[in-house]
Chains A and B, each alone.
Chain A
Amino acid sequence: MENFKNKLKKRRILFIVVVILIVAVSILEAFSIIGSSKETFTDGMTDGIAWGTYIALGFGALAQIIRISRMLTNETMLKKAYNRENDERLKMIRSKAGMPMLLITSIAMFVVGIAFSSINETVFYTLLAAGYVQLLCGVGVKLYCLKTM
């Protein structure tokens, strides 16, 4: 259990770094120091999608920080989380759904897509759509397996 606690603490640090980075990027973008121009409708749209994705990732990371902090102070919650993470059935379902690799590649697609948004619009839309479809497929398989297994 101590190893799991240390793992959770490391995860929390990682999420804190993510939140700090997103806040920094958001502040810079709010003052138009970075980010694409918003002169045309398409520019505004790519910028809006990028901004929305940052905010969503930030809130997701913040929710994880709160969840992990609560787990670390509550033994029952910690045990449940440990069981959930090491549960053989859930492990099998996760591997069938291609997790966590699918999640990692989707996030990588979003990040690369956003980074390329100011350079090439088509690449941005393609990567974003591919990332979302990939995630959706993974979630679909996971839900199906949860229901049938």
Chain B
Amino acid sequence: MKTRIKELRKANKLSQEELALEVGTTRQTITSIEVEKYTASLVLAYKIARYFKLTIEDVFDFSDVEY
């Protein structure tokens, strides 16, 4: 799943390690989400979105999701 995490991190001058510490995950998981290898759970997506003061839809791109 495409995300705006990398872009938001860069805008906030935040490293993967710092973001991981803030949202309670590991740097490797942030990397995996950024490179679209792993899809974050609802809880982690919520934590990441809340950290950037955005909604989940603003951070994660659901356009590829089939209904």
Contact = CB atoms under 8 A, between A and B. Distances in A.
B32 A88 contact: no
Interface string B9-44: 000000000001100111011001000011011011
Contacts, number: 35
Contact of A90 (B21, B24, B26): B26
A89 B24 contact: no
Contacts of B29: 87-90
Interface residues of A, number: 14
B20 A83 contact: yes
B26 A87 contact: yes
B24 A83 contact: yes
Interface string A114-149: 000000000000000000000000000000001011
A70 interface: no
Interface of A: 76, 79-80, 82-84, 86-90, 146, 148-149
16 contacts: A83-B21, A83-B24, A86-B24, A87-B26, A87-B29, A88-B29, A88-B41, A88-B43, A88-B44, A89-B25, A89-B28, A89-B32, A90-B26, A90-B28, A149-B32, A149-B38
